[in-house]
Amino acid sequence: MSRFYEEKLPEGYSQALVVDAADRKTVLFMRRAASLLSAALFCVFFFLFAFPRIREIRAGFSLFKCVVFVLSYYLYIVLHELTHGLVYKLLTKRKLAFGFQPPVAYCGVPDLYLYRITSLLSAAAPFTVFTVFFAVLFFLLNDPFSKSLVLALLALHAAGCTGDLYGAGLLLFKYTDPASLRKDTGPKQIYYTKDPIRPDETKQQEGGK
Q: Which residues bind Zn ion (CB under 5 A)?
A: 164
Closest distance between Zn ion and the C-beta of residue 166, in Å? 10
Q: Which is nearer to Zn ion, 107 or 151 (CB)?
A: 107
SS3 (DSSP) at 195? coil
Q: Which residues of 70-94 are buried (b: 16+ CB within 10 A; e: fewer)?
A: eebeeebbeebbebbbbbbbebbee
Closest distance between Zn ion and the C-beta of residue 106, in Å? 8
Which amino acid is residue 14, in one-letter code?
A: S
SS3 (DSSP) at 187? coil
Q: Which is nearer to Zn ion, 108 or 144 (CB)?
A: 108
Q: Which is nearer to Zn ion, 143 or 164 (CB)?
A: 164
Q: Which is nearer to Zn ion, 20 or 143 (CB)?
A: 20
Give the C-alpha separation, 137 to 107, whole Å. 26
Closest distance between Zn ion and the C-beta of residue 38, in Å? 15
Closest distance between Zn ion and the C-beta of residue 84, in Å? 5
